[in-house]
Amino acid sequence: MRCRITTTTMWCLATAWFVAQHVLAQDTLIAPRVGAAPAIDGEPDDWQLSLFTADAYLALDGGNGNVNAGAIGDRDDYATTTYVAYDDDMLYVLVVATDDAIESGFGPDNNWENDCVELWIDGRDNDGVFPGEDDNVQVNVDVNGVPMVYRDAGGVKAALLPEVLGGSIETANGWIIETAIPLGIVPDTQLVAGGQIGFNISFVDSDDGVWNHLLWLGDQEVNTAQWGTLAFSSDTLAVDAAGKLATTWSELRR
């Protein structure tokens, strides 16, 4: 994990939390299109965060999420805001977290023991069995920026796929994780406006050897019937003439 703490980042983190802190967890998340792919480096400057509507980001903590292992304290202990976007090839996810203790010491094969985000994808949105159907995929990205993919019909197989990208940074009060997932790794799945996939998000908050687990929806992360929906919007976040997204975190200060 790279550590970069700036006044702009600290200000913008505070702004994002102020806007998001009273938003309850919904069961459908909207993903807008992006006109230019963000760099997967953990830096949020090339996302148009101010243009994400309330149904297009998810603010989650122990108060509005489901804790199915360990314990999650107040927002100063652990809280996340997740943004999802897409283009013709990739699903992009950005997570901004408040975390009072960061665990990053485990390697790729055990990256689920580090602080991480876990993304659960049901490509056909048919509430199929996980594991057991080829369109059900789990992608874990830890605070080292390492993405591990779990998939395969009939059993869970972990792999580091070069086409799945991850990046991360440490902030003054937590971390930021970013990933790009080509949905070509999920059979029968297309990134098209008006389409949707089954989707869930969970987080590991590993503190002093205790594995704490927070889910967006449900109490069993492998139960696809408890997952929500990720819907692909036709709204496109435009870019300016320089090729950068038109509204950046630094502009949120104005």
Which tens digit of pLDDT belongs to each residue from 152-207? 755 667 788 989 999 999 999 999 999 999 988 888 888 899 999 999 999 999 98
Question: Which of 24-33, 72-81, 216-225 is predicted least confidently?
Answer: 24-33
User: Higher pLDDT residue, 76 or 121?
Assistant: 121
pLDDT at 183: 86
pLDDT at 237: 81
Residue 254, domain member (yes or no): no
Give the chain's radius of gyration (CA, Å).
17
Residue 183, domain member (yes or no): yes
pLDDT at 20: 40
pLDDT at 3: 55
Q: Which stretch, 88-92, 208-212, 243-247, has highest mean pLDDT?
A: 88-92
Strand partners, 166: 179
Q: How deeply is 44 buried, as exposed, middle or buried, from its count of CB atoms within 10 A (0-12, 13-18, 19+)? A: buried
CATH number of the domain within which 179 lies = 2.60.40.1190
Mean pLDDT of the chain: 83
Q: What is the C-alpha to C-alpha distance for residues 53 and 63, in angstroms, rounded to an integer? A: 21
Residue 253, domain member (yes or no): no
**Per-residue tokens: 144:** 């080292």
Residue 217, domain member (yes or no): yes
The domain of 143 spans 2-244
Give the residue ranges of DSSP H helices in the chain: 7-20
pLDDT at 217: 94
Cα pseudo-dihedral 17, 144, 35, 150, rounded to 10: -110
Residue 120, domain member (yes or no): yes
- Give me the half-sphere count of Cα atoms (radius 13 Å) on the Cβ side of residue 212: 22
pLDDT at 83: 97
Residue 86, domain member (yes or no): yes
Q: What is the C-alpha to C-alpha distance for residues 66 and 214, in angstroms, rounded to an integer? A: 6
Q: Report how many domains make up the chain.
A: 1
Residue 250, domain member (yes or no): no
Strand partners, 176: 96, 169
Residue 251, domain member (yes or no): no
Question: Which of 33-47, 131-145, 230-244 is predicted least confidently?
Answer: 230-244
Q: DSSP class of residue 225?
A: G
